[in-house]
Amino acid sequence: MIKNRLTRFFSQKLYIELSIAFALFFIALLLDMLMDFIIYMLYFIIFLEIVRAVVNYIREQRVVMSLLVDAFIILALREFIVNVVKVNQEELSTIEQIFSNATNFNIFILSGVIIFLFIVRYFAVKTSQRYIFGKREGSD
């Protein structure tokens, strides 16, 4: 009976993900390093995406743009989080303050980069071979 429960628990990935996330969150709170945990996990995700892109290139001899764009989106989000949470101590109550402070201007530019990368990601998915060929097979 216990074996069946454990088998069911580990067969459902959601519970494993929630358990790991809760444990990491609790450890980060205990160590008072929540932002550091988030930043380092984003670094890890960036590393994973780049490795996936390289392995995919070696295996299939083509570059999957969505993997690279994902890595750059995560990198830009990491920079955005660092600038907003860790570096920025300035008030932002008017539009003029964006251009008067270098940190606020950097955050403004990063916001534009993130929006641009999401648009590139959208078009990378819409023009991918999987999406185009999947649509053609579905319409036959």
Q: How confident is the model at residue 100 (pLDDT cuts 50, 70, 90)?
A: confident
Report the pLDDT averaged over residues 63-67.
Answer: 76
DSSP 7-76: HHHHH-HHHHHHHHHHHHHHHHHHHT-HHHHHHHHHHHHHHHHHHHHHHHHHHHSS--HHHHHHHHHHHH
Q: Judge contact between 63 and 52, C-beta under 8 A.
A: no
Q: Judge contact between 15 and 9, C-beta under 8 A.
A: yes
According to the model, what pLDDT value does residue 30 have? 92
Report the pLDDT averaged over residues 113-134.
Answer: 79
**Confidence check: pLDDT of 64 > 80:** no
Report the pLDDT averaged over residues 61-79.
Answer: 80
- Decide which of 38 and 139 is more confident: 38
Report the pLDDT averaged over residues 99-122.
Answer: 81
According to the model, what pLDDT value does residue 31 have? 92
According to the model, what pLDDT value does residue 86 have? 65
According to the model, what pLDDT value does residue 51 have? 87
- Decide which of 95 and 33 is more confident: 33
- Cα distances from 66 to residues 5, 35, 128, in angstroms, run 38, 27, 8
**What CA dihedral angle connects 45, 51, 54 and 58, to 10 degrees?**
-140
- Decide which of 84 and 53 is more confident: 53
**Confidence check: pLDDT of 140 > 60:** no
CA separation for the pair 11, 23 (Å, rounded): 19
